[in-house]
Structure 1
Amino acid sequence: MSKPGIRTAPVLLSALLLAAATLSAHATDYQLADGRVRFSAPDAWPQIMMQTSGNPQFMAFQVPDPAPVSQRVLARVTVTVVKMLNGPAFQQWVNQRVQHSHQLPGYESVAQPGSSSNVVRYTALESGVRMSYSERYFLKGLEGVQLRCLRPNRGEVDAAWVASFDKGCDAIAASLQQGG
C-alpha cells in the first residue's frame, strides 16, 4: 500500500505548473470604438499610448526587449481603429496604409509563402535599426482595424524573444478576429 502523500505529489506538481503557465500567459482585455472592437494583449506588455475617443482610436503597447538594441528603439504593438463608410472605403484605407509603409526609410518587402492576404510584412529602418513589421487588417462591421507589430529584426535580438513576440502578436490577432 502506497503512502497518500507520494501519489498526490505528481498531481500537485502538475497543477502548480499549469497554474504558473496560465499566469505567465495571462492577458488583459481592451476595447475601442465603444466596445465594437475588443482584443486581449499580454499583461507583460505595458500600454504606452492610447486615444479612445474620436476617429481614429488606438492603443499602443511596449514589448519589453532585454537586448541592447532596445535602448535605441522600442518593440511595440499598436491596434488602430478607423470608422469606415463601407467596404470599398476600407480597402482604400488599407491601400493607403500599405503605400505609406513603402515610404519608410530602407523599406523592403518580406515575402511570406502561404501568408494570409490581410497580412503585410516588411522591414524598414528606425533610428538606424532594421525593424520587422507585421501589419494585419480587419473589417469589423464598419470599423477598419490595423494591428501593427514592430520589433528589431531577427539578427538584432534573441530568437526566443522573437518567438515570444510573434506569439503575442498572433494572440492579439486571434482575439481581434473573435472579439467585438
Structure 2
Amino acid sequence: MSLTRSLILAAALLLAGTAYATEVSMAGGSVGFSTPDSWVSIMETQGDPEVRVFQVPDPSPTAASSLARVTVTVKQVSDLAAFERYVASATQRAKSLTGYQAAGNPYGPNSYAYTASENGTPYRYSERYWFANNHAIQLRCARPARSEAGAAWAAGFDKGCDTVAASLAR
C-alpha cells in the first residue's frame, strides 16, 4: 500500500471516529441523542431503568485490559426531589469505588468528575445528570486515565462524551 493511500485511509478512519450519525432513542422516544458511528453498542436494557452502554474503541494495547465506555441511564422519577435522591445515590456509589478521588464539577451543577480504579487500572470518570419529563438521565463516561493510544484518542473520547451531553441537554 502506498504512503499516500495509507494516509488517506488513516484520515478517513479519524474522520469516521468523529462522525455523529447513530441516533439513539430511549424512554419511549422522550430521550434521544447521537453517538459516533465508531462506538459499539455492547449492552441495552429495557424497562426502568433503561440503560445503553457503548464501547469506545481504543486502538492501542491498553484495550486488552481496559474498557473505555459511555453509559446512558434513564430512570423514571416522580419529581425533582426524587431526581435529587437518584443523583445522590449514584454519587454515593461512585464514592465507594476503589481509589475514588473527586476532580470537581467541570460542567456545572449535576456534573461530577473523578478518578478511581477498576481491577487495578486507573480510570477517569465524568458523570452528568438531567431531569426531564419525569426522568432522571445519567451520562457516565469512563476511560482509562492513561491509554497507549495517546492524548489525541483521550481528547476524542472526551469530545464524544461532550457531544452526547449536548444532545441530551436539549
Structure 2 counterpart of 1:175, which letter? S
- 1:166 and 2:158 equivalent? yes
Give the aligned partner of residue 167 of structure 2. 175
Q: CA deviation at 1:67?
A: 2.4
- 1:144 and 2:123 equivalent? no
TM-score by length of 1: 0.82
Separation of aligned partners in 2, 1:23 and 1:54: 30
The one of 68, 73, 83 aligned to 2:76: 83
Separation of aligned partners in 1, 2:149 and 2:91: 26
Q: Identity over aligned residues, as a percent?
A: 44
The alignment covers a number of residue pairs equal to: 158
Structure 2 counterpart of 1:162, which letter? A
Q: CA deviation at 1:142?
A: 0.3
Give the aligned partner of residue 111 of structure 1. 104
Separation of aligned partners in 2, 1:91 and 1:56: 16
8 A Cα contact 2:17 2:38, kept in partner: no
The one of 64, 73, 76 aligned to 2:66: 73
Q: 1:89 to 1:42 in 2, by over 3 A?
A: same
Give secondary structure in 2 for the equivalent of 1:78. Answer: strand
Q: Which moved more, 1:68-77 or 1:24-33?
A: 24-33
Could you say which structure has the larger radius of gyration? 1
**Structure 1, unpaired ranges of 5+:** 1-16
**Structure 2, unpaired ranges of 5+:** 1-10
Separation of aligned partners in 1, 2:17 and 2:152: 19
Q: Which moved more, 1:63-72 or 1:90-99?
A: 63-72
Separation of aligned partners in 2, 1:30 and 1:69: 28
8 A Cα contact 2:147 2:154, kept in partner: no
8 A Cα contact 2:97 2:116, kept in partner: yes
Q: CA deviation at 1:24?
A: 4.9
> What is the root-mean-square deviation of aligned Cα atoms in Å?
2.0
Q: CA deviation at 1:127?
A: 1.4
Structure 1 counterpart of 2:112, which letter? V
Give secondary structure in 1 for the equivalent of 2:115. Answer: strand
